[in-house]
């Protein structure tokens, strides 16, 4: 059996599929990727970690007969990564189960396995709900929230991005208990009745989906039950198990009475944090924000090593003086995910969570981040 491919066409897609494969697998065959020819003279590449399944279509120059085979993901990726710009012809010998690959002035040989042994997903989608989402909108929702995903052993439901679908909007939210990011897309319209429905997507599929949607202009069909979800269009299909359980009631923890508001230049605040944070405590990353009239002083200290730093920047603070402590690393993440030049910081008192919002938000969306304070 003979197969000819362009490495430049296949390699980016192969890289995405290979990222699904775990370094250690309970089933050895899951260390492989599956190649399968298609009727339209193309190929599909599939990989799984037994929880998530990713299939991507890729062009194929030619093949002489239909074929399906498995090859070790790490091996085929290493080989093709060093053959950029070349065409490769692979000949499969059914007797020796070897792939003989040839290109310009070289050759390689790899073993392959029968794809009949590769496990298939056992996920029922019979009663699935379906929503169609523009790829760019879905990617933006993920990008705006994924930094706040938790890594919890006791509360695994928080280890992902939660989606809620309503008739006139889509909500994406993630939280680790210290920081929270909530994104609302008001351009969405769904025919789902009056009930709110949704799911919590685990962290690994979130990362995979963010990469898959990069530059994608096609609409994505999202089918989900209470146990699994699939994202599919003409280029790929991602099928994964969901995090089970009730996601925390995120709207209840977002304060609505943080009346002390100030505008700060985002870039100046980020740069100040970068200079001050290294002089603070490395484990807590505590930084203190001291607001006075038209000014905020960012300071950090590590008394154990006699280190400290502070820097002042202008702001439009016009209330009584207020000081509050935050994790500086978390604050940097929040600020970097706000698009506007200035950021609105909404506070109430040193023991209450602070809100961070863009100042020139589009009417089609709503974005807010929450950060819990640290006692100063």
CATH assignment at residue 80: 3.10.150.10
Token output for 127:
């009663």
Query: What is the model's pLDDT at position 320?
Result: 87
* Same domain, yes or no: 246 and 273: no
Q: What is the mean pLDDT of the chain?
A: 92
pLDDT above 80 (res 368): yes
pLDDT tens digits for 24-68? 888 899 999 999 988 777 899 999 999 999 999 998 888 888 889
pLDDT tens digits for 315-340? 999 888 999 999 999 999 999 999 99
Of 235, 252, 269, the residue at which a domain comes to its end is: 252
* Same domain, yes or no: 94 and 175: no
Average pLDDT of 116-131? Answer: 85
Query: What is the model's pLDDT at position 289?
Result: 96
15 domain residue, yes or no: yes
Query: What is the model's pLDDT at position 173?
Result: 97
The region, left, alpha or beta by phi > 0 then psi within -120 to 50, assigned to residue 84 is beta
- C-alpha–C-alpha distance, residues 360 and 348, integer Å: 22
pTM for the model stands at 0.90
23 domain residue, yes or no: yes
* Same domain, yes or no: 168 and 98: no
* Same domain, yes or no: 97 and 11: yes
pLDDT tens digits for 280-329? 999 999 999 999 999 999 999 999 999 999 999 999 998 889 999 999 99
122 domain residue, yes or no: no
Average pLDDT of 338-349? Answer: 94
Selected residue with higher pLDDT from 34 and 122: 34
Average pLDDT of 133-155? Answer: 94
- C-alpha–C-alpha distance, residues 315 and 163, integer Å: 35
DSSP 3-state assignment of 139? helix
Structurally, the chain folds into a number of domains equal to 3
Domain span holding position 169: 129-252
* Same domain, yes or no: 85 and 30: yes
Query: What is the model's pLDDT at position 307?
Result: 95
Sheet containing 160-166: which strands, arranged edge to edge?
197-202, 160-166, 169-175, 179-185, 365-371, 354-358, 342-347, 260-265
pLDDT above 80 (res 153): yes
Query: CB 212: neighbour CB atoms within 10 A?
Result: 24
Average pLDDT of 254-266? Answer: 93
The region, left, alpha or beta by phi > 0 then psi within -120 to 50, assigned to residue 145 is alpha
124 domain residue, yes or no: no
Query: What is the model's pLDDT at position 339?
Result: 92
376 domain residue, yes or no: no
């Amino acid at each position: 059996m003979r197969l000819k491919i362009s490495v430049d066409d296949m390699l980016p897609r192969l890289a995405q599929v290979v990222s699904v494969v775990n370094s250690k697998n309970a089933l050895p065959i899951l260390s492989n990727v599956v190649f399968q020819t298609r009727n339209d003279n193309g190929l599909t590449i599939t990989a799984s970690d037994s929880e998530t399944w990713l299939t991507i279509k890729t062009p194929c120059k030619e093949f002489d007969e239909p074929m399906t085979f498995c090859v070790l993901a790490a091996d085929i990726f290493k080989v093709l990564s060093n053959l950029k710009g070349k065409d490769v012809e692979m000949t499969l010998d059914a007797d020796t189960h070897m792939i003989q690959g040839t290109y310009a002035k070289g050759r390689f040989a790899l073993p392959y396995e029968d794809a009949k042994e590769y496990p298939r997903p056992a996920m029922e989608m019979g009663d699935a709900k379906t929503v169609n989402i523009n790829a760019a909108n879905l990617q933006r929702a993920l990008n705006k929230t994924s930094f706040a995903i938790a890594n919890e052993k006791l509360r695994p439901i928080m280890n992902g991005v939660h989606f809620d679908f309503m008739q006139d909007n889509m909500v994406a939210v993630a939280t680790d208990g210290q920081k929270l990011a909530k994104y609302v897309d008001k351009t969405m319209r769904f025919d789902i009745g009056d009930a709110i429905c949704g799911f919590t997507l685990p962290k690994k599929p979130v990362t995979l989906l963010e990469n898959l949607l990069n530059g994608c202009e096609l609409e994505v069909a999202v089918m989900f039950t209470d146990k699994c979800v699939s994202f599919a269009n003409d280029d790929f299909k991602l099928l994964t198990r969901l995090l089970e359980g009730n996601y925390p009631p995120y709207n209840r923890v977002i304060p609505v009475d943080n009346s002390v508001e100030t505008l700060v230049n985002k870039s100046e605040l980020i740069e100040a944090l970068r200079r001050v944070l290294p002089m603070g405590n490395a484990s807590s990353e505590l930084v203190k924000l001291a607001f006075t009239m038209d000014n905020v002083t960012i300071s950090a200290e590590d008394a154990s090593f006699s280190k400290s730093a502070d820097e002042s920047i202008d702001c439009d603070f016009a209330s009584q003086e207020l000081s509050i402590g935050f994790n500086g690393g978390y604050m940097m993440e929040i600020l970097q995910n706000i698009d506007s030049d200035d950021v609105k910081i909404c506070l109430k008192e040193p023991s209450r969570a602070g809100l961070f919002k863009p100042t020139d938000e589009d009417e089609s969306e709503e974005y807010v981040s929450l950060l819990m304070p640290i006692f100063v």
